[in-house]
Structure 1
Amino acid sequence: MSSDMSQIQINQAGHLAIGGADALDLVKKYQTPLVVYDVKAIRDQIHHFQKVFQDNGVDYAVSYASKAFACIAMFQLINQEDAHIDVVSGGELYTAIQAGFPMDHVSFHGNDKSVEELEMAVDHQIGVIILDNFHEIDLLKQILDEKDAHINVMLRVTPGISAHTHEYDQTGQVDSKFGFDLQSGQARKALNLVLADPRMTMLGIHAHIGSQIFEVKGFEMAATKLIDTLGDWHKDIGYTAKVVNVGGGFGIRYTEEDDPIAPEMFVDAIVKAIKKRVGELDMPMPAVWIEPGRSIAGPAGYNLYTVGSRKDVPGIRSYVTVDGGMGDNIRPALYQAKYDAVLANDPKAPVKETVRVAGKYCESGDILIQKQPLPATKPGDVLAMLATGAYGYAMASNYNRNPRPAVVFVENGKDQLAIKRESYEDLIHLDEPFTLK
């Protein structure tokens, strides 16, 4: 099979195991479609990141990018590992509040934060608001004045470095909806506005050059450019940054076509580039923050489906349909993301055919995997898609009025429900009857 069998666990029964639990037992207990996370895999990746910083002897923060997957249980798990989170909406911030997450370990991103969202951030005294535009500076200034409050801020800048990735995933180039442009002087103007406001404490700068990146060079270039920028600010106006936040975007393996280095190796290269440039400019060494999301949640996640119908088109291809699809993982339809899958009841079974794995949604584009080598399958078999932990459930919808799946966390063979499966009643609980005549 095309899947990398070294990346999955197989138990004595010959079944796929996730976090020490039999995938088929999880299906019996929670039904399908089902999203399952291996908790130890999440913990281990955070530890790998933390060790890189410790080995390099620098102050740091590993801040989990909540947009990859957010829920109360996930935030509580992240907090157990003494990591930070970044949020991009009032909903993610509210979830963190309900999870009891320490607010001083929260960063707030976004290019169009509302007054209500900024007020929530100020009221809860989150760790830092990462300012994205001039309008936001004005809004925050008004809120801080009205509330007689203070807050830490950083500036998101666009360093003019384009990542080698999908166009929609490139966020560091000059022509981007995100951040203050360095080249035109926008960032310097924003810096002056922030420094002039006694209610804002300027921690440093942030940049994010893209997602699912496999090449170290772009990160090294961006890190060096950030330090050069801070060096200019230090020399010109005496500003000394406490933090440089290099974002995330570290690529992971989805299929055999992907050959990324370990995510922590990106971080090691970034830290070394920063230390080198700081030494050359004779600057104080700032803390280095990173914001991995996909590389923490992605490999730890599995989507389990039950095989249903089959369609054979003679001389062309065969379709195998499962009971989920674009409603629980829109990435293949949205930007042609690729995944691998295995038969959960026998991952080692010899390949018999290559099929197109289709979803149940009423769209021709609802295809989860275009070409998947599989053993012979039959209705009722359980198919497991691998590395689905990032941006799957986070982007899930109720298209065709289908309920979203349950999410289960598993560690040391023990499972717990993290998000309940939606019911039909849940689908209509916000609906109002028609009353116009």
Structure 2
Amino acid sequence: MSAPLGAPWPASAGRDGGALVLGGVSAPALAAEHGTPAYVLDESDFRARARAYRAAFADAFEAIGTGVDVYYAGKALLTVAVARWAREEGLRVDTASGGELAVALRAGVPGAELGLHGNNKSDGEIDAALVAGVGRIIVDSLAEVDRVAALAAARGVAAPVMVRVTTGVHAGGHEFISTAHEDQKFGLSVNAGPDGGDAPAMQALLRVQERPSLRLLGIHSHIGSQILDGAGFVEAARAVLRLRADLAARTGVLVEEVDLGGGYGIAYLPGEETVDPFTIARDIAHAVATASAELGTALPRISIEPGRAIVGPSGVTLYTVGTVKPVLVTGDDGATFTRLYVSVDGGMSDNIRPALYGARYHAELANRTSTAAPALARVVGKHCESGDIVLQEIRLPGDIAAGDLLAVAATGAYGRSMASNYNLLPRPPVVAVADGASCVIVRRETVDDLLALDQG
């Protein structure tokens, strides 16, 4: 097999006889056995990235004298197998809904190693978390403080909670995934309003302390996603630690834990930057140590929540090419050129991110190599939607044809988890590969599955 392809592909990706190989299994063999489209997940790559984040942050925070917990952010991709892999590599699991919570529990993750997020949790979701004995419920509003307190009191338990705050730090690859600026739905601001009263975040922290059925664990902050610069995490950490010190000055209680969220960026295109976990862990640890010393407070225990950074590069989507259509295009300068529209057997139902965020991906011919001259191409899906574009612009071999396989890299995060049944397409399977073998961990949906939900 050829040398590894490097980012944005999984570590095991290479070529054998021209065919793309993932986890020791060739793309043509995967397509023959499992069909296309299919999400292919490199188990060894996932595990290695999970270990790297755990080791990087454990080492960095041990060096300053405190501990850290790494939660795998299940919203990126959560299956029973994925949750098991994460736990086996020493990670806890963060969930954002009752469904994600149920999957993690089915995987055997103990409740104490789970967290429950959400800006609008239902009473049923909160109660399920209490029954499961989750290690923390991250409350997102003043009203939710009271709701969690009432449900916990009804069960005769003290619910462990963290308060999610917004620090005003704006970071991330797209406005929709930047989650710490003020004008958005998540969390409670650390800044006081125009009346000069307590900031919403402080109000929530004080209210939690007043409720006997709640136990305040700490403060939670998440500043966004696909972040490539550690400066945002450093500023957010300082803001959260100031709030922690202010609360201690008001109440005499210094909360034990601070969660700095996730959002660590990955490479989607060849040559793009990706976050090095050891570098960013060291930068954040230094900021926590410095700010704590300046504030005169003891170091908190830290927790983080990487999701995309672990599973994103581990996943590849495999498609079969159908229609290839040359289209004559007139550019802004009046010149004409030909663009190949390469249609595949999936599209926006299995990867909504290009349509939703303008996300860019890289693809390669997966069943063979070609000596044909590269042609300007646009990879599109099969949906009845002009915006159903998988790759806006890419150069592919000019002889690409129906029946060829196309692999799109770095689709492990937010492909399957955001997939839909648009145009009533069944969702693709998730196929794990490792050591030359493949295994279906989430089966392909069928038309019978779709019809089973329709009550006629």
2:343 to 321, 328, 331: 321
- Answer yes or no: is 1:131 the counterpart of 2:139: yes
SS at 2:16 equivalent: coil
Checking the alignment, whether the CA contact within 8 Å between 1:325 and 1:368 is kept in structure 2 is yes
Name the residue aligned to 1:162: 170
Q: For 1:197, give the aligned amino acid.
A: R
SS at match of 1:299: coil
Q: CA deviation at 1:349?
A: 5.5
What residue identity is the alignment partner of 1:280?
A: E
Task: Please state if 1:35 is matched with 2:39.
Answer: yes
Structure 1's unaligned 5+ residue stretches are none
Could you say if the C-alpha distance between residues 3 and 379 of structure 1 is closer, same or farther in structure 2, counting changes exceeding 3 Å? farther
In the alignment, what sits opposite 1:412?
435
Q: Which moved more, 1:47-56 or 1:245-254?
A: 47-56
Contact 2:9 2:410 in 1 (8 A): no
Alpha-carbon distance in 2 for matches of 1:111, 1:390: 21
Residue by residue over 1:371-408, the C-alpha shift from the partner in whole angstroms, topping out at 9 and shown as x without a partner, is: 11112211111100000001111111111111100111
| Structure 2 residue 303 is the aligned partner of structure 1 residue 299 | no
In structure 1, which of residues 374, 384, 395 is the aligned counterpart of residue 418 of structure 2?
395
- 8 Å CA contact retained: 2:9, 2:409: no
Shift of 1:279: 2.2
Change (3 A) 1:6 1:300: closer
Q: Which residue of 1 aligns with 2:333?
A: none
Contact 2:71 2:92 in 1 (8 A): yes
Residue 118 of structure 1 aligns with which residue? Answer: 126
Q: From 226, 232, 235, give the equivalent of 2:249.
A: 235
| CA positional deviation for 1:57 | 4.1
Cα drift, residue 117 of structure 1? 0.5
The answer to whether the Cα contact below 8 Å between 2:13 and 2:21 also exists between their aligned partners in 1 is yes
Instruction: Give the CA deviation at 1:316.
Output: 4.0
User: 3-state SS of the aligned residue for 2:402?
Assistant: coil
Distance in 2, matches of 1:401 and 1:123, equals 36
Moved more, 55-64 or 110-119: 55-64
After superposition, the Cα gap between the structure-2 partners of 1:144 and 1:164, relative to the gap in structure 1 and judged at 3 Å, is closer
Report the Cα distance in structure 2 between the residues aligned to 1:148 and 1:335, rounded to whole angstroms.
Answer: 44
SS at match of 1:429: helix
Alignment of 1:429 with 2:452, yes or no, is yes
Q: Distance in 2 between matches of 1:302 and 1:63?
A: 23
Letter in 1 for 2:248: H
RMSD: 1.9
Give every structure 1 segment of 4 or more consecutive aligned residues whose post-TM-superposition deviation is greater than 4 Å.
1-8, 347-351
Change in 2 beyond 3 A, CA 1:186/1:3: closer
Name the TM-score, length of structure 2 as normaliser: 0.91
Q: Aligned residue for 2:150?
A: 142
Contact between 1:351 and 1:373, CA under 8 Å: does it hold in 2?
Answer: no
What amino acid sits opposite 1:34 in the alignment?
A
2:187 equivalent among 173, 179, 184 = 179
Report the Cα offset of residue 7 of structure 1. 6.1
Give the whole-Å Cα distance in 2 for the aligned partners of 1:69 and 1:204. Answer: 26
What residue number does 1:284 align with? 298
Paired position in structure 1 for 2:391: 369
Give CA deviations for 1:56-102 in whole Å, capped at 9, x if unaligned: 24311111111111111111111111201111111111111222211
Deviation at 1:54, TM superposition (A): 2.7
Task: Give the corresponding residue for 2:195.
Answer: none
- Alpha-carbon contact 2:351-2:415 (below 8 Å) kept: yes
Q: Distance in 2 between matches of 1:17 and 1:189?
A: 54
- What letter corresponds to residue 36 of structure 2 in structure 1? T
1:252 matched residue in structure 2: 266
Aligned amino acid, residue 409 of structure 2: L
Conservation of the 8 A alpha-carbon contact between 1:37 and 1:300: yes
Tell me how far 1:138 sits from its aligned partner: 1.2
Q: For residues 182 and 249 of structure 1, what CA distance do their matches in structure 2 show?
A: 20
Alignment of 1:275 with 2:283, yes or no, is: no
Determine the C-alpha separation between the residues in 2 that align with 1:101 and 1:425. 31
SS at match of 1:36: strand
Q: Post-superposition shift, 1:258?
A: 3.2
Query: Structure 2 stretches of 5 or more lacking a match?
Result: 193-198, 329-336
The SS at the match of 2:151 is helix
Counterpart secondary structure, 1:177 = coil
- Counterpart-to-counterpart distance in 2, 1:194 and 1:187: 11
| 8 Å CA contact 1:317, 1:355 repeated in 2 | yes
Residue 55 of structure 1 aligns to a residue whose secondary structure is: helix
Kindly provide the amino acid, as one letter, of the partner of residue 426 in structure 2.
Answer: P
Match 1:358 to one of 368, 380, 390: 380
Deviates more, 1:114-123 or 1:237-246: 237-246
Partner of 1:224: 238
Aligned length: 433
Could you report, residue by residue, the CA deviation over 1:295-328 in whole angstroms, capped at 9, with x for unpaired residues? 1110000000001101111234110111010111
1:23 aligns with 2:27: yes
Residue 267 of structure 1 and its aligned partner are, at CA, apart by: 2.6
